[in-house]
Chains A and B, each alone.
Chain A
Amino acid sequence: MSDLRDLYQEVIFDHNRNPRNYGVLDDANRKAEGFNPLCGDQITIYMIVNNAGIIEKVSFEGQGCAISTASASIMTEELIGKTAEQAEEIFDNFHTVVTGGESDADIGKLEVLSGVKDYPTRVKCATLPWHTSNAAINQLDEPVTTE
């Protein structure tokens, strides 16, 4: 049996209590909404992407569990300064790690979420912010859902 502390590391609690880049970004030029219909979690991602295609600012708001809130919070820190391609690469690597796949990629701070791989029912909590960001970057009109 895995230790609960592998899932709920101190960093997760920290981001859950004090989420970074939380709130509406008034001058955002990208926005997307995401839902997890199974648990009712909801997230909105705001972004400013400049003409060079670089993500200058990211923020989020919504309601979710500690895993999804921490994942969103850490994600916003990781995405600032990245291009759409770089963001996608980070998400691919992150997704591989949290779904228990083999990966040598360095996912930096996101490593604290790797405990999710032992909790299949919680993977969607961790990936919802990322799917939503992906939709924002690609300017998809339809809200994202995990189902």
Chain B
Amino acid sequence: MQTISAPAAFDVAAVRKDFPVLDQEVNGKPLVYLDNAASSQKPLQVQQAMNDYYRHDHANVHRGVHSLSQRATDAFENARTKVKDFLGAASEKEIIFVRSATEGLNLIASSYGRMVLREGDEVLITVLEHHSNIVPWQLICEQTGAKLKSVDVNEAGELDIQQYQALLTNRTKIAAFNHVSNALGTINPVKQMVKLAHQAGVTTVVDGSQAAPHLAIDVQDIGCDFYVITGHKMFGPTGIGVVYGKQALLEAMPPYQGGGEMIKQVSLEKSTYAELPAKFEAGTPDIAGSIGLGAAIDYMNEIGIENIAAHEHALLEYATAKAGEIEELRIIGTAKDKAAVLSFVIEGIHPHDLGTILDHEGVAVRTGHHCAQPLMQRFKVPATARASFAMYNTFDEIDVLISAIKKAIKMFN
């Protein structure tokens, strides 16, 4: 086996000890978990933080005068501060806890979209988007009479920036695009895209779901108006996501959902709304989820996002080279800037069959359209197989993947 060593500061064996779920056999073979773009595993530190909260501190937040309620509120707000720092936001008021990136995008489309969109206006998305950054815009466009436009990619899976610029017209009100493509791994030039949008007076929404586990994020440097992330793809729990929004925009927007927590005064005729961020957090939040997300951020910071990115980059380069040696394999998505995703098809083997055969070898990959059907149509494939890497994956695991693919090819031919 060819050996490539990870950066000295990074000890993958030590990292793997924090993820006991990886230490198991599947179908009699050691588990090789390469479905991280769908959902990553959670380190013990995250599990422990959530468990500790439920064992010692649970009560509802922002309500009782009793000690547990205060402790729960402190832990919840402390998690918000961690997210604020992680994203480089200016204030905790700009950090809204939601259920997922999907809910976050729906919040922005429903609240901001409804506020600004009129008949004949345009919303610009890209063919690289996950369904969660397509369908909410389709819904709000249907309701407001606005039009949805989309930017194409080249054969490598890189956005056509000239077309993007041309599609930013005086009718465009919102541009929504991902930071990293979940299906291909393409890293989009978001800072440049935000700048171009702002020059055209267009508000920007960045879906950072796939960027957060791999890249250092600084929303003020990117300059975007909104940025969303989801906990479960960045080593945190399911059920928690975040909307970052510039304070002035969030203040101008109407609430997304009504209920407790988000109000100042309620009478039967009329209510006044709470200050940010509570205005957008109706109902009892996922307190444990936010604490788990905070612990995931602590964990990533401790290892160092640069170390994580360097290790994953080395894994991707190794996997890309090894996959390139297989004649029947075609990589879908060969952008110059990529993060941790190897999407491919094998001549003569449907991805579903490949997925089953790989599972028999203990290798977990995602097969299907990756919630990106327009992108699959663009590349004229019904589906792909996708191996996606995280900080705990190893070069040996990529060797197992490659030999399992070769086994499948042998079986089918």
Q: Which residues of B contact A13 (CB under 8 A)?
A: 412
- Give the contacting residue for B356; candidates A40, A42, A122; CB below 8 A: A122
* 21 cross-chain CB contacts under 8 A: A1-B28, A4-B360, A8-B353, A8-B357, A8-B411, A39-B352, A39-B369, A39-B382, A40-B368, A40-B373, A41-B352, A41-B382, A42-B382, A65-B351, A65-B352, A66-B350, A66-B412, A119-B356, A122-B352, A122-B356, A125-B352
- A38, B368: Cβ atoms under 8 Å? yes
- B356, A64: Cβ atoms under 8 Å? no
Q: Which residues of B contact A42 (CB under 8 A)?
A: 382
- B360, A39: Cβ atoms under 8 Å? no
Query: What 0/1 pattern do residues 63 to 87 of A give for CB contact below 8 A with B?
Result: 1111101000000000000000000
Tell me how many residue pairs across A and B have CB atoms closer than 8 Å.
48
A40/B353 contact (C-beta < 8 A), A1-B27, A1-B28, A63-B382 known: no
* Closest beta carbon of chain B to A84's beta carbon, Å: 30
* Closest beta carbon of chain B to A134's beta carbon, Å: 22
How far is A114 from B382 in the complex, measured between Cα atoms in Å?
A: 26
| A67-123 CB contacts (< 8 Å) to partner B | 67, 69, 119, 121-122
Say if the beta carbon of B315 comes within 8 Å of chain A.
Answer: no
Q: How many residues of A contact B (CB 8 A)?
A: 20
- Give the contacting residue for A39; candidates B28, B357, B383; CB below 8 A: B383
- B350, A64: Cβ atoms under 8 Å? yes
- A39, B368: Cβ atoms under 8 Å? yes
- Give the contacting residue for A40; candidates B28, B360, B376; CB below 8 A: B376
| B314-337 CB contacts (< 8 Å) to partner A | none
Instruction: Describe A's contact surface by its main secondary structure.
Output: mixed
Chain A CB within 10 Å, residue with most, of B27, B373, B383: B383
How far is A103 from B352 in the complex, measured between Cα atoms in Å?
A: 28
Contact residues of A with B, CB < 8 Å?
1, 4, 7-8, 13, 38-42, 63-67, 69, 119, 121-122, 125
Say if the beta carbon of B367 comes within 8 Å of chain A.
Answer: yes
A7/B352 contact (C-beta < 8 A), A40-B382, A42-B382 known: no
* Closest beta carbon of chain B to A111's beta carbon, Å: 19
- A39, B353: Cβ atoms under 8 Å? no
How far is A143 from B111 in the complex, measured between Cα atoms in Å?
A: 34
Chain B CB within 10 Å, residue with most, of A1, A65, A66: A65
Having A39-B369, A40-B369, one finds 6 other A-B pairs with CB under 8 Å, namely A7-B356, A8-B357, A39-B352, A40-B373, A40-B383, A66-B350
Q: Which residue of B lies closest to A124 (CB)?
A: B352
| B343-357 CB contacts (< 8 Å) to partner A | 349-353, 356-357
Q: Which residue of B lies closest to A64 (CB)?
A: B350
A39/B367 contact (C-beta < 8 A), A1-B28, A65-B350, A65-B352 known: yes
How far is A69 from B357 in the complex, measured between Cα atoms in Å?
A: 17
Query: What 0/1 pattern do residues 348 to 388 of B give for CB contact below 8 A with A?
Result: 01111100110010000001110001001000001100000
Q: Which residues of B contact A64 (CB under 8 A)?
A: 350, 352
